[in-house]
Amino acid sequence: MRGGRVAASINPEDAERQAELKANGRLPAHIAVIMDGNGRWAERRHLTRSDGHRSARDVVRETVRACGELGIDILTLFTFGTENWKRPWGEVLSLMQLLRDCSVEELPELIENNVRLVAMGETHKLARHARLALESAIQSTSKNTGLTLNLALSYDGRSDIVQAAQRVSKAVASGEISAEDVDHTIFEQHLLTNDLPDPDLMIRTSGEVRLSNFMLWQCAYTEFHFTPVFWPDFQRCHLYEAISTYQSRERRFGQTSAQLHSTEEPIGEPAGVSPG
């Protein structure tokens, strides 16, 4: 795990909770979050949906800080999905402005806390002012070695898979590789996450229990944590609860519990055996 934000400002209760999680071991290296519920949170308070999105900015900041303090390697946030382009244009413009503002105004703290910002998706489709601010922030943090903050923007999992298949097909057609060479490893090299490990833990807020076209290939063996809390109400305690739940699970990757705890070398996976 890589170091992040210096923990000098953490309150004692929070520091104790983080120490417990670290002592438990097996922290997730990569956490992915579907940040859901901004609109419904706002509507219940008779606010606009844009107000809900803006209110979530502080939550993102605290989540990034907490992950950095814990030594999490990667935090991927489902920030703007391809399907979100279908929303009312005023809401889309508000989200573009929010992305621009965050890229500029949060940059000093990202640099101070050694956070490396990256993005995946069809970012060329973003509004120009948002895209330029994002690209500048990515460049400014490119040499940072702490937490990697990966923003999924104009992204969806099915398109990621389709586009990877197209790239693999072109490589086969050009003779760069043969069809027989194509396996999981080759295919993963053509996904947008080719330089990132798969998520260990995926958190979704707002009570919805589905992936919503998010990192479909990458989440094949990811542990899921669903919470009814709307994203603007998501706090450190909710993040710690999700991590604690993850630590209590046994990740078998198709093996049995006995095999995991055995000192013998695995003999391989027989054909036709489904994951456990």
Residues with catalytic roles:
36, 84
Euclidean distance between the first and final Cα of the chain, in Å? 28
CA dist 116 and 217 (Å) reads: 24
Q: Tokens for 45?
A: 């308070």
d(CA 189, CA 193) in angstroms, rounded, equals 8
Tell me the two tokens of residue 232.
């603007």
Of 125, 79, 83, nearest in space to 106 by CA: 79
Quote the CA–CA distance of 157 and 81 in Å, as a whole number: 9
Quick check: helix, strand or coil at residue 3? coil
Phi-psi region of 175 (alpha: psi -120 to 50; beta: other; left: phi over 0): left
Record the tokens describing residue 207, joined without a space.
């009570």
Q: Are 159 and 153 in contact (CB under 8 A)?
A: no
CA distance 25 to 47: 42
> Helix (H, G, I), strand (E, B), or coil: what is residue 116?
strand
CB environment 23-43: b (16+ within 10 A), e (fewer):
eeeebbbbbbbbbbbbbbbbe
User: Tokens 């992950």 correspond to what residue?
Assistant: 67
Residue 110: CA count within 13 A, CB half-sphere: 25
